[in-house]
Amino acid sequence: MHEEHKNIQDLISYLNKCFSEISPDEAISQMQLAAELPDIHISLIAMLINGINRLKNNELLHKSVVDTSFSSRNTSYLELPTGLISYDEAAILGRSGYIFLIGGSNDVIGQYYPIDQSYVDLSEKWISLIKERIKNSISRNIKYFQIIIPEKITIIPEYFPYSISTPTRLLDKLEFEISKFEQDKFYISGRKLMCSQFRREHLCKRTDSHLSPEGTYLLFRNMLKTIYDLTIEDVLFTKKNRSIGDLSFRMSGYFVTEEYSEVSTKDLPMFANDSLKILDDQPENNGHMGKRQIWNNPNAPIKSRVVVFGNSFFSLVENGQSTLSWWFSKWVTEFHFVWTNEVDWQYVDEISADTVIWQGIERFLPIVPGS
């Protein structure tokens, strides 16, 4: 590779040209040569090489997800040492194939071992914000609930590759302060619920940072009991399905499929089939923040207009049973989901909501909305 290709921008332009003019093998050879240059990031080269390899195997990987005849007989297992860290240092391989998020912009592992007492100040900011939200809900004579979903590390620390004290210091401090509230029923602790279960490993997906359908349903049942004093029966997760975990590529360079169990819709109550999507509002930039959906189910048992301000753990209903939105859209007569970390009280007023739910996750707690 010539001198003019030494900087990243020129390299990417050069590789794009390679993709259109030469074979994948020749492109890979050129990228391997590029790796010898001291000012080229090895991780970038690895990502591009893996991208070429994924294109080669795309048909097979796609088949493993969408082909109903694809089974465990078509997969192969490798024994890898626990503690392997992804090329970007954002994920680590734990026991029994569980991959954990440890880095990224949120510095997940650093939140379990803070180097200072900043989490104390953050907890105080959260308490002030929560009090303000409760005040706003009381003035409107509506219900307000807040749920924080724990990290996979917090739920199943025994599968983490080394001993770790959980939860994060900020979540621990925040929940301690919330416990002092005279009325603390507004708060739903995902950590206390999930960590008290006997089979916690089934609550998480191995190669994904999100919950399994079983873990999501556990939260959903608890939320209905807390918010509406409604007890719903347990369901059997017997239907096998496959998905691609959002952490798999970080570890292997491939979007690895994973088998999991979900509920067959024919085993759900009849009313669960009656939900209809009324609105699907996508932001112009196609990003997550600002996405909005409205679902109606006139035959749902919960006669409520509920709005949820949350993230990918609620997500869009179409993303399936691992999302809380999938379940709420079937049990509530009018369900609104807005992808945001704020509570939009103007929107609450516009739709005349009677119940407001704010959902967060443990690793996002250092970002206090509005601060």
What pLDDT was estimated at residue 48? 63
Going through the chain in order, the beta strands assigned E by DSSP cover 91-93, 99-101, 143-149, 187-189, 239-244, 257-262, 276-281, 292-296, 302-310, 332-339, 355-361
Under DSSP, the state recorded for 34 is H
Q: What CA–CA distances, in Å, run from 97 to 54, 71, 316?
A: 21, 18, 27
Q: Residue 129, exposed/middle/buried by CB under 10 A (0-12, 13-18, 19+)?
A: middle
Helices (H), 141-234: 152-155, 169-178, 190-195, 213-228
How far apart CA 265 and CA 237 sit, in angstroms, is 10
Taking phi over 0 as left and psi of -120 to 50 as alpha, with beta for the rest, 275 belongs to: beta
CA atoms within 13 A of residue 168's CA, in its CB half-sphere: 30
Number of alpha helices (DSSP H) and beta strands (DSSP E) in the chain: 12, 11
What pLDDT was estimated at residue 13? 62
CA 76 to chain centre: 26
Going through 1-89 in order, the beta strands assigned E by DSSP cover none
Contact, 220 vs 233, CB < 8 A? no
What pLDDT was estimated at residue 79? 83
Contact, 186 vs 144, CB < 8 A? yes
What pLDDT was estimated at residue 215? 97
Residues, the chain: 371
Contact, 154 vs 166, CB < 8 A? yes
What pLDDT was estimated at residue 57? 66
CA 23 to chain centre: 37
What pLDDT was estimated at residue 29? 61
How far apart CA 371 and CA 369 sit, in angstroms, is 6
Q: pLDDT tens, position by position, for the chain (371 residues)?
A: 445 445 556 655 665 665 555 555 565 565 555 555 444 455 565 566 666 666 666 666 666 656 666 565 667 777 888 999 988 889 999 999 999 999 988 899 999 998 889 999 999 999 999 999 999 999 999 999 999 999 999 999 999 999 999 999 999 999 999 999 876 689 999 999 999 999 999 999 999 999 999 999 999 999 999 999 999 989 999 999 888 888 987 777 767 788 899 999 999 999 999 999 999 988 877 778 889 999 999 999 999 999 999 999 999 999 999 999 999 999 999 999 999 999 999 999 999 999 999 999 999 999 999 85
Q: What CA–CA distances, in Å, run from 272 to 50, 263, 275, 328, 348?
A: 42, 12, 7, 10, 25
CA 300 to chain centre: 27
Relative orientation angle of helices 324-331 and 213-228, to the nearest 10 degrees: 40
| Pair of tokens at residue 192 | 């206390």
What pLDDT was estimated at residue 55? 64
Q: Tell me the domain boundaries of the chain.
A: 3-73, 97-364
**Residue linked to tokens 């959980």:** 166
Q: What's the Rg (C-alpha) of the chain?
A: 23
- Buried/exposed code over 156-194 (b: 16+ C-beta within 10 A; e: otherwise): bbebbbeeeebbbbbbbbbbeebeeeeeeebbbbbbebb
Contact, 298 vs 328, CB < 8 A? no
What pLDDT was estimated at residue 282? 86
**Residue linked to tokens 């990031």:** 41
